[in-house]
Amino acid sequence: MKNQSNYDKYFFNICVDNFFKNPDKIVEFANKLEYSPDKIGKWPGVRSDPLSYIDTDLNSYIVSKIFRVYYPSNKNQIFWDKSNLRFAKAKSYGDKILNEGWIHLDTSAVAGLIYLTPNANLDSGTNIYQLKNEFKDVYDDEYPCSQKHFFYSNSPEYNYEEYKKQLKENNNKFNLVTKFNNVYNRLISYSGNEYHAFNSFDGFENEERLTLLFFIDGVRVDSPKPYDYIRELDENIESKISKL
């Protein structure tokens, strides 16, 4: 059972536009790769092999660029144990319910994605959520969502009405707190303990929603983690306020 409160939040939510200097080149490269669905239906659409399998150096360059968003000084030494970067493609399922994302939790230290579809539907971005207070001590992040797996894997056990029921039961336990629109060449990044989901695949009837997903773990930096760094002056601020 995962739970949001069991993880330290080191990386704040961040949004950076115009992330790649030449995003069209990234898209051209992504479209040369082979894609496949998840065999057990953990996620929608299709994904490429991990970028580290395709080109180790390219994988390292992009991960380093992602971390420069949090650590802009080139003096920082940044290391990570694991990185999983994959290009992902998905299309509309032609139904509002089926196009809605399942709110879930990752387990990596930092996660996020880069939107790579020009002129995409802005509402096809990513939302960040918080558990409603009444579920914080009882919600199981391994909540049964068998129909999600059945649907995404094209299993004969998939049932539309049961799918709607499970999706509603899961997503109704959350409040929306942040919405990131799908803007071409925009990076969004967040701590792995943030509940999130794609907003919708609406608008992708005739083209694919292309993203570059990333999950990075075992992060070590020779300076405080981002949240720790911005908290360093809290005592000074509180002390000053108390004297005013």
Tens digit of pLDDT for each residue in 102-126?
999 988 899 999 999 999 999 999 9
Please tell me the pTM assigned to this model.
0.89
Q: What mean pLDDT do residues 164-170 have?
A: 94
Query: Domains in the chain, start-ordered, CATH in brackets?
Result: 4-243 (2.60.120)
pLDDT in tens, 58-76: 999 999 999 988 887 766 6
Q: What is the 3-state secondary structure (H, E, C) of the chain?
A: CCCHHHCCCCCCCEEECCCCCCHHHHHHHHCCCCCECCCCCCCCCEECCCHHHHCHHHHHHHHHHHHHHHCCCCCCCEECCEEEEEEEEECCCCCCCCCECCCECCCCCEEEEEECCCCCCHHHCEEEEEECHHHCCCCCCCCCCHHHHHHHCCCCCCCHHHHHHHHHHHHCCEEEEEEECCCCCCEEEEECCCEEEECECCCCCCCCEEEEEEEEECCEECCCCHHHHHCCCHHHHHHHHHHC
